[in-house]
Structure 1
């Protein structure tokens, strides 16, 4: 439709239409982030977790194997950071800031805009998370005390929070539950 509108505005002059599209491509891409999905990861010690809401233009990007590898890199870097700015400036191999890598993939591999919208960090003595199969909802659960079978209990609690149809927070909500559970964060695109 953008091409058709450019041809109409340029009254059929293709060179003018192409120039119009090139000059307006930045605005078109920024306004066209329609698909959002969540990725989560916790560190090996299971005491720090991160959840990131990523926006793309189409669902096609999220299904791509190359993008899944990029998402893994983003998550690994995010576990080192404390905020979005530090994550984007983090240099891989002491050369390449993460934001340049994401921009390269966005502009040269996928030809679609990719944006890290929301980043949530949690730290607790023990953390677990669950992402709904739609990649639209996630829950991170943090515990302050030891409970027997903590791995399974935390996973089940996160699953229940995500699958509860009555509980649909926008982006993220923090809740305090019980004595042993330090923090629960639920995210929803």
Structure 2
């Protein structure tokens, strides 16, 4: 039997995140071969992943990152099964690392195939499934590009948002963060009226008409009144038309223009875990 030192066990633990006994057992089985021990732990992860493939991974950490040029941002959700794991520092650090790496890619598939600490991201997730004992996977992967991109992560890593602005001007960083916080808190359905799906509009008009009929309003008046209610829906549910949460006397669009007269919000992304 190979003589396994504490330093070797610690090196494997730092590399994989596995527990001390799991690392020692893997090194013993591998007769001290570090790479073989890593492979043993990975195979353990594959077995656990196969057993837990049908489990629901609705917990996790949602991380938003923006590149150094502030013109591209990503949101990545690293999902797991329990809130206990989601709050673990090591799990959050893994989510942060994968999100940082994601800035270099334009699809989840490319990210999963990318190298992360000596192995593919997909393999790292399998390895960590074995280490943690829960299904670990990347859920959402969003990209936003704009002349200026800002981000916000709500406390607890359950909600993350990105906001794109039309120009990188003085105050853009503060404005983008404020609007990103707005999107996190108010959960708009779209950027503006043009971004609302027609099926949603049709549904809102029909709901309004049913309410008006129940109130006894004449059929001939329904269309006009329903349009007024639809405008209210747009105001409450589209980002740029919402009342700004820090100053309800102005809309989000008006707030952004107060920072710079030519500045507009061009896009946003929001990812939340239930």
Using the size of structure 1 for normalisation, the TM-score is 0.73
Structure 2 partner of 1:101 = 124
Alpha-carbon distance in 1 for matches of 2:165, 2:90: 34
Query: Are 1:174 and 1:186, in contact at CA under 8 Å, matched by a contact in 2?
Result: no
Structure 1 partner of 2:267 = 183
Alpha-carbon distance in 2 for matches of 1:74, 1:133: 19
Query: Are 2:48 and 2:129, in contact at CA under 8 Å, matched by a contact in 1?
Result: no
Residue aligned with 2:140, SS = strand
Q: Which has the larger helix fraction?
A: 2
Q: What's the C-alpha RMSD, in Å, of the aligned pairs?
A: 2.5
Relative to structure 1, the CA distance from residue 160 to residue 92 in structure 2 (aligned partners, 3 Å threshold; closer, same or farther) is closer
Instruction: Please report how far the alpha carbon of residue 45 of structure 1 lies from its aligned counterpart in structure 2 after TM superposition.
Output: 1.4
Equivalent pairs counted in the alignment come to: 160
Q: Identify unmatched segments of 5+ residues in structure 1.
A: 1-22
Alpha-carbon distance in 2 for matches of 1:73, 1:157: 25
Using the size of structure 2 for normalisation, the TM-score is 0.52
Larger Rg, first or second structure (1 or 2)? 2
What does 1:32-181 correspond to in 2, within 5 Å?
Answer: 32-92=56-116, 95-107=118-130, 109-164=131-186, 167=187, 177=240, 180-181=264-265
Alpha-carbon distance in 2 for matches of 1:72, 1:45: 19
Residue aligned with 1:138, SS = strand
Relative to structure 1, the CA distance from residue 27 to residue 101 in structure 2 (aligned partners, 3 Å threshold; closer, same or farther) is closer
What does 1:9-20 correspond to in 2, within 5 Å?
Answer: none
Residue aligned with 2:104, SS = coil
Residue aligned with 1:45, SS = coil
Alpha-carbon distance in 2 for matches of 1:66, 1:134: 14
Relative to structure 1, the CA distance from residue 25 to residue 181 in structure 2 (aligned partners, 3 Å threshold; closer, same or farther) is closer
Deviations 1:84-108 (CA, angstroms, capped at 9, x unpaired) = 0000001236x4111111211121x
The runs of at least 4 consecutive aligned structure 1 residues that moved more than 4 Å come to 173-179
Alpha-carbon distance in 2 for matches of 1:51, 1:183: 14
Alpha-carbon distance in 1 for matches of 2:52, 2:96: 28
Instruction: Please report how far the alpha carbon of residue 69 of structure 1 lies from its aligned counterpart in structure 2 after TM superposition.
Output: 2.1
